[in-house]
Amino acid sequence: MNAFASAFGLVKGAFTSAFGPSASSAPALIDAVFVSGAGTENANGLSSPDGTSGGRTKYTNANSVSFVWDSSEYYIRASGGGGDIYYFSTNSPANPWSGTYITAGDGSDPAPTVRQGTTAD
């Protein structure tokens, strides 16, 4: 082992001791949506891919609440074609975790925080 490699190993070890494991040990992003903080409780949790809606991936959680795409808006919609709980509008290509949701007619405040799911969810 040359002097540079040895010194790098010492610095890396000291950094890990001081700050914990590297970012590579963080949970990996997955094709899923995670909802938290919604006033409509059954909207919270992990939603997994469940077919398509309007040509984009539809995501549904264990409570049968779905993320559906409709022209220029993502909706969080109750099961069985129920009412709209939350939505966000966009004029550009987007994914369900890229906007700020607004409470719709059948939803309860507060509107949720929505992010891409991870292996830790």
Q: What does 55-109 look like in DSSP terms, one character per residue?
A: TEEEEEETTS-EEEEETTEEEEE-TTT--EEEEEE-SS---TTSS--EE-TT--S
The reported pLDDT for the residue numbered 91 is 73
In a domain, 5, yes or no: no
Q: Contacts by 68-73 with C-beta closer than 8 Å and gap 24+?
A: none
The reported pLDDT for the residue numbered 42 is 94
pLDDT tens string, the chain, 121 residues long: the values are 455 444 444 444 544 555 555 556 789 999 999 999 999 999 999 999 999 998 899 999 999 999 999 888 999 999 876 789 999 988 776 789 988 999 999 999 999 999 999 999 8
In a domain, 66, yes or no: yes
Give me the amino acid identity at 11: V
pTM above 0.85, yes or no: no
Q: Tell me how many domains the chain contains.
A: 1
In a domain, 10, yes or no: no
